[in-house]
Amino acid sequence: MRTEEASGESAPGAPGASGAGDGGTTAPAPRKRWPAGKTIVIAAVVLALALGGGAFAALWPHATSIGSEAGTAVRSQPGAVFPVVQPATAVTAPVADATEVNPAAPVTVTAKNGTLDNVSLRSSTGDDVEGTLGSGRTVWTSTGQLTFNRTYTLSYTTLDAAGRTTTATSTFKTVSTANEADAAMYPLDGMSVGVAQPIQLTFSEPVKNKKAVEKAITITSTSGQTGAFHWFSDTVVRYRPEQFWAAHSTISVKMDLFGVDLGNGQIGNFSKTDTVHIGDKRTAVADAQAHTFTGYVNDQPVQTWPATLGDTRFPSAKGFLVLMEKQRKAHFVAASIGLKPGDPANYGELDVEYATRLTPSGEFIHQATDTALPYLGVANVSHGCIGLGPDGASWVFNNMTTGDVVQVVNTAGDFANFNDGFGDWNIPWSQYANG
């Protein structure tokens, strides 16, 4: 008989084990309970093997293999060995359904937790916008120019580290026509003008962000002259140097106004470069006291002609007046300057020869009328114009041009109003450059 101390529990089928199959009559020994601590240790080992994947499968050949995360739903909690692969997302600029988007701003798609593929940007009219994908394939940026008043569709695919792909689209609208601002420049591109011609920009909408507009415009001259902007209103700005432009120089006006915010939601709609050519320096001096008019070319006097200027009721404007346009024959109407029938100064309507405009309000250099010819060099009898004889008036008409300048001296008249022609040269430089 075995004693309890010497006996040990045998595995089924081992020598000495009792059972129905060995024909023995000894009753089965009672199964011992393992201590609770051993149970915990074994459970921990099994769990570790289970989490170990390959080791567990080797010990338990019938275990089910663990699938790839790409083929399973995204877990909300990280595993001990296989961390969660976050799905890729993307951020777009502008955001989906945005409106009044500045067409100058680049469109971007930025991937998070993944990369980008198959990015496209197309307008509602079917035009594709070019773009580039960065070396890391995480950021796409448009390089083509967008158009005002268009709806654009942005499409892209994201790919995460587990191989999952997601395709998405978003739309946005660019600035509407109502918020599109234009501008016109004078002189026109390629035009040849005189040394006193300022560069003028007239905007279709009021400009509030004036400094932003000035920064977007670069004006250079082959003479090396620099100048300053002066705002005459919220829609009109001019640029000139401190002294007259150098003769035979060329001015380049680069306007990068596309996408510039003028204020109040108004966005500039163009970028271009215009060129203006400066000819000879052609100037003149009209003396209301001496009743003379002297022409100069490149600072050399050409000739002095007798003249008549504005009388005491209609004195000629003083200072520098820039020539604006020429008319071989001009038709004057007294009512246009407020004269009515019965007024001694009312001349009704008349035609004049060789008319060169100085102001929009009606001051010209022209051939004096027959009734004024006897007063040339003697007295001032005009309504503010500079009257010359046929030779003097024709010389101005044939030799002077837009942008040339006449300086009127010794007149009781005031300077022409800032919006009555180009009176820029009558404003002191220190004031002009800070206005």
Assign residue 392 the CATH number of its domain: 2.40.440.10
Is 159 among the domain residues?
yes
> Do 311 and 385 belong to one domain?
yes
- The enclosing domain of 257 has a CATH number of 2.60.40.3710
pLDDT tens digits along 3-60:
343 444 444 444 444 444 444 444 445 444 545 444 444 444 444 444 444 444 444 4
Phi, psi for 38 (deg, rounded to 5):
-65, -40
Name the token pair of 235.
């829609």
CB 293 within 8 A of CB 368: no
The two structure tokens encoding residue 70: 């790409």
Q: Is residue 200 domain-shared with residue 267, that is, in the same domain?
A: yes
Rounded-to-integer distance, Cα 184 and Cα 240, Å: 17
Please indicate, yes or no, whether residues 257 and 296 belong to a single structural domain of this protein. no
CA angle, residues 402, 422, 351, in degrees to nearest 5: 60
Which SS3 state, helix, strand or coil, does residue 122 take? strand
Measure the CA–CA gap between 285 and 311, rounded to whole angstroms.
Answer: 18
> How far apart (Å, rounded) are the C-alpha atoms in residues 150 and 21?
91
- By three-state DSSP, how is residue 426 classified? helix
- 287 inside domain: yes
CA 278 to CA 249: how far, in whole Å? 5
pLDDT of residue 281: 98
User: Environment class of residue 285 by beta-carbon count within 10 Å: exposed (0-12), middle (13-18) or buried (19+)?
Assistant: middle
Distance in angstroms (rounded) separating the CA atoms of residues 10 and 31 = 10
Q: Which stretches of the chain score pLDDT less than 70?
A: 1-83
Question: Among the three residues 278, 311, 326, which one is the final residue of a domain in this structure?
Answer: 278
Same domain, 272 and 316: no
What is the model's pLDDT at position 347?
87
User: Is 52 part of a structural domain of the chain?
Assistant: no
- Where b means 16+ CB within 10 Å and e means fewer, 19-37 reads eeeeeeeeeeeeeeeeeee
| d(C-alpha 300, C-alpha 23), whole Å | 146
418 and 333 belong to one structural domain: yes
How many Cβ atoms from other residues are within 10 Å of residue 189's Cβ?
11
On the question of a cis peptide bond just before residue 306, with omega within 30 degrees of 0, the verdict is no
Helix (H, G, I), strand (E, B) or coil at 344: coil
Which tokens sit at 24? Answer: 């023995």
Instruction: Mark whether 150 and 200 lie in a shared domain.
Output: no
Stated pTM of the model: 0.77
Number of domains in the chain: 3
- Domain around 313: 282-423
d(CA 132, CA 87): 24
pLDDT value of residue 419: 83
Both 287 and 274 in one domain: the answer is no
Note whether 119 and 153 are within 8 A (CB): no
Q: What are phi and psi of 256, to 5 degrees?
A: -95, 65
pLDDT number for residue 254: 98
Nearest to 425 by CA among 293, 243, 233: 243
| Distance set, CA 209 to CA 111, 113, 124, 130, 376 (Å) | 35, 40, 31, 31, 51
Instruction: Using the 3D structure, point to which of 175, 198, 219 is the last residue of a domain.
Output: 175
**Per-residue pLDDT tens digits for 66-111:** 445 544 555 555 555 556 889 999 999 999 999 999 999 999 999 9
Residues 6+ apart with CB under 8 A from 389: 305, 306, 367, 368, 373, 376
Pairing of strands 192-193, 271-278: parallel
- The answer to the question of residue 315 being in a domain is yes
CATH of the domain at 138: 2.60.40.3780
Core vs surface per residue 293-328: b (16+ CB within 10 A) or e: bbbbbeeeeeebbbbbbbbeebbbbbbbbbbbebee
Question: Do 188 and 262 lie in a common domain?
Answer: yes
Same domain, 303 and 203: no
Same domain, 382 and 338: yes
Residue 411 lies in a domain: yes
Helices and strands counted in the chain (H then E):
5, 27
Residues acting as catalytic residues: 366, 385
Domain presence at residue 412:
yes
CA distance 3 to 218: 111
Examine the domain organization and report whether 261 and 369 are in the same domain: no
Assigned domain for 229 exists? yes
Q: Which of these three, 175, 195, 211, is where a domain ends? A: 175
Q: Do 113 and 163 sit in the same domain of this protein?
A: yes
For residue 187, cis peptide bond before it (omega within 30 degrees of 0):
yes
Residue 77 lies in a domain: no
Strand partners, 365: 356, 386
